[in-house]
């Protein structure tokens, strides 16, 4: 018994050491990028959220939970450090820390599963040396905290499945699952639908602990109802406008009009209530892979309430136009989603490196010599060229589905761990506003290395042995 206890202690210590090592190295590497691009990257979406930090009306167009997180850290940073630049940088430090923590959890879990050091070193390098992770860690985007919560959610599910198989309690992990699930639901708009879709599978996977599962799920739903109800009402948080979630139907209908498809006068009259039909061809044909132009035309009429008041009529029209114009509908769907299922698709950028003009006192002030900064920019440009030639979002989706099929074939104990990424991919196909933006699939990008390693370990007939005890 002592030998067994000693062996468990060695395994635990090894997991902790790997976690600490990955955490520390991630922080060090990402810190170099923060110094080079100090105080971080403020893209347009970041600027919109920062405007709310400065007093603009609250909106959930970009998750309000994330906006409030920015506000908390930024205002604390300014109060303590007395500088807008340093306050902004403090938020980037927070992102570096949470990404490093997520990677550490992955490494620690795999180390505890007995994965050999050489493979742990490889997966650590995949995470730490990715320019995508390096740049995202210093960019004020909702996708980073969302990606972190997805990884933590997946790792938690794996740990809980292990404990269930071993007949051990999951009490503390059910408690931890509640805040992680809340983050999954509200750091990105599609996260809520991912979680809701997973509820029956969570109950099924943890049926032996169903009372704990029901309690945790109920806690998340109650907290979510309070958050979206009384909290939003108190802080007067506006929900996104109606057209924001209708990107793909909007593009399909616009395609019918732009390509002179079959559409009745009655259907045109219905559409004319919410959009200028004459402007549609120019807007759509100039942007067949991004719905922003068409959505902005709808916003120009300022009559989106009409869509909600006549939702049944619009839905019936959308279905009817599909049967009358199936080819146009399918081609419009392909144009709007192809980057998330076809590998040979390029996107103009992977990351941003600039600070949006802001008038907030947040300006580029690199802390490294100009030669080093130019070297880092050259490194990023070279990787972008490599990514365009050999990699793509679609390629990572292929790898994910290969892992999923292996897990299904092996009747893996961890099948539920693949569902968050599957749900995110599914919601992208339903409502993506742009055809191949990596940041929309960033959570999948983060999940794939872990799921690949998990699939390999789970598919091995004999567990990968730990070092001699």
Q: Residue 285 belongs to what domain range?
A: 242-340
Q: What is the pLDDT of residue 280?
A: 98
- The label of the residue with tokens 């603009």 reads 56
| Contact partners, residue 368, CB within 8 Å, separation at least 6 | 32, 35, 36, 376
Let me know if residue 252 belongs to a domain: yes
Q: What is the pLDDT of residue 460?
A: 65
Task: Indicate whether 47 and 172 sit together in one domain.
Answer: yes
* Exposure letters 91-127 (e unless 16+ CB within 10 A, then b): bbbbbbbbbbbbbbbbbbbbbbbbbeeeebeebbebb
Task: Indicate whether 203 and 107 sit together in one domain.
Answer: yes
Task: Indicate whether 216 and 320 sit together in one domain.
Answer: no
Write down which residue in 340, 369, 390 finishes a domain: 340
Let me know if residue 432 belongs to a domain: no
Task: Indicate whether 284 and 399 sit together in one domain.
Answer: no
Helices 143-165 & 189-205 angle (0-180, nearest 10)? 0
Task: Indicate whether 200 and 278 sit together in one domain.
Answer: no
Let me know if residue 249 belongs to a domain: yes
Task: Indicate whether 257 and 228 sit together in one domain.
Answer: no
Dist. CA 4–CA 7, nearest whole Å: 5
Our CA dihedral for 95, 101, 107, 108, rounded to 10 degrees, sits at -170
CB-count burial class (<10 Å; 0-12, 13-18, 19+) for 370: exposed
Task: Indicate whether 262 and 184 sit together in one domain.
Answer: no
Other Cβ atoms closer than 10 A to 411: 8
Other Cβ atoms closer than 10 A to 265: 7
3-state secondary structure at position 460: coil
Let me know if residue 88 belongs to a domain: yes
Per the structure block, which two tokens stand in for 164?
């269930």
Q: What are phi and psi of 418, to 5 degrees?
A: -85, -15
Let me know if residue 2 belongs to a domain: no
Dist. CA 315–CA 105, nearest whole Å: 44
Helix-strand-coil split of the chain, %, nearest 5: 75, 0, 25
Q: What is the pLDDT of residue 464?
A: 38
Let me know if residue 61 belongs to a domain: yes
Q: Are 406 and 418 in contact (CB under 8 A)?
A: no
Per the structure block, which two tokens stand in for 326?
């199936």
Task: Indicate whether 216 and 262 sit together in one domain.
Answer: no
pLDDT along the chain (469 residues), means of 10: 67 95 98 98 97 97 98 98 97 98 98 95 97 98 98 98 93 97 97 98 96 98 98 97 96 98 97 97 96 97 95 97 98 98 94 96 97 97 96 97 96 96 98 96 98 88 36
Let me know if residue 37 belongs to a domain: yes
Task: Indicate whether 103 and 248 sit together in one domain.
Answer: no
Helices 84-112 & 2-36 angle (0-180, nearest 10)? 150
Per the structure block, which two tokens stand in for 57?
């009306």
Q: CA 295 from chain center: how many Å?
A: 22
Residue 188 pairs with which residues in a beta bridge? none
Write down which residue in 408, 428, 457 finishes a domain: 408
Task: Indicate whether 223 and 256 sit together in one domain.
Answer: no
Task: Indicate whether 92 and 44 sit together in one domain.
Answer: yes
What total number of domains does the chain contain? 2
Q: What is the pLDDT of residue 3?
A: 53
Dist. CA 161–CA 127, nearest whole Å: 24
Q: What is the pLDDT of residue 7?
A: 75
Let me know if residue 441 belongs to a domain: no
Other Cβ atoms closer than 10 A to 4: 9
Q: Are 85 and 39 in contact (CB under 8 A)?
A: yes
Task: Indicate whether 167 and 269 sit together in one domain.
Answer: no
Q: Is the dihedral of CA 90, 148, 130, 139 positive or negative?
A: negative
């Amino acid at each position: 018994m002592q030998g067994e206890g000693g062996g468990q202690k060695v395994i635990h210590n090894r997991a902790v050491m790997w976690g600490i090592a990955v955490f520390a190295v991630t922080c060090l590497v990402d810190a170099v990028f923060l110094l080079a691009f100090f105080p971080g990257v403020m893209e347009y979406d970041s600027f919109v959220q920062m405007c709310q930090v400065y007093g603009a009306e609250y909106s959930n167009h970009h998750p309000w939970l994330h906006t409030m997180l920015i506000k908390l850290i930024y205002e604390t940073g300014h109060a303590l450090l007395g500088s807008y630049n340093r306050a902004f940088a403090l938020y980037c430090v927070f992102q570096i820390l949470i990404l490093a923590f997520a990677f550490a959890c992955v490494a620690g879990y795999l180390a505890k599963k007995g994965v050999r050091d050489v493979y742990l070193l490889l997966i650590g390098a995949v995470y730490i040396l990715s320019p995508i992770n390096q740049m995202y860690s210093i960019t004020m985007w909702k996708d980073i905290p969302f990606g972190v919560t997805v990884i933590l959610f997946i790792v938690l599910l794996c740990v809980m499945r292990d404990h269930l198989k071993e007949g051990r309690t999951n009490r503390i992990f059910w408690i931890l699952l509640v805040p992680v699930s809340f983050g999954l639901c509200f750091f990105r708009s599609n996260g809520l639908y991912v979680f809701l879709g997973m509820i029956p599978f969570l109950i099924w996977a943890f049926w032996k602990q169903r009372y704990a599962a029901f309690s945790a799920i109920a806690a998340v739903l109650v907290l979510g109802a309070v958050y979206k109800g009384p909290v939003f009402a108190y802080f007067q948080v506006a929900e996104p406008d109606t057209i924001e979630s209708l990107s793909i139907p909007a593009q399909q209908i616009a395609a019918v009009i732009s390509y002179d498809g079959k559409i009745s006068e009655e259907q045109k009259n219905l559409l004319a209530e919410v959009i200028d039909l004459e402007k549609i061809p120019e807007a759509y044909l100039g942007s067949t892979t991004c719905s922003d132009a068409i959505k902005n035309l709808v916003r120009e009429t300022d009559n989106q309430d009409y869509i909600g008041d006549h939702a049944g009529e619009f839905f019936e029209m959308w279905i009817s136009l599909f049967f009358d114009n199936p080819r146009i509908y399918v081609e419009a769907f392909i144009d709007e989603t192809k980057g998330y299922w076809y590998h040979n698709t390029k996107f103009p950028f992977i990351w941003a490196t600039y600070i949006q003009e802001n008038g907030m006192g947040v300006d580029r002030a690199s802390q490294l010599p100009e030669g080093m900064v130019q070297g880092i920019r050259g490194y990023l440009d070279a990787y972008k060229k490599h990514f365009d030639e050999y990699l793509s979002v679609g390629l990572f989706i292929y790898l994910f589905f290969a892992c999923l099929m292996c897990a299904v074939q092996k009747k893996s104990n961890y099948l539920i761990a693949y569902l968050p990424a599957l749900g995110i991919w599914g919601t992208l196909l339903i409502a993506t506003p742009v055809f191949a933006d990596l940041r929309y699939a960033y959570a999948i990008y983060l999940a794939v290395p872990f799921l690949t390693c998990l699939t390999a370990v789970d598919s091995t007939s004999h567990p990968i042995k730990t070092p001699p005890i």
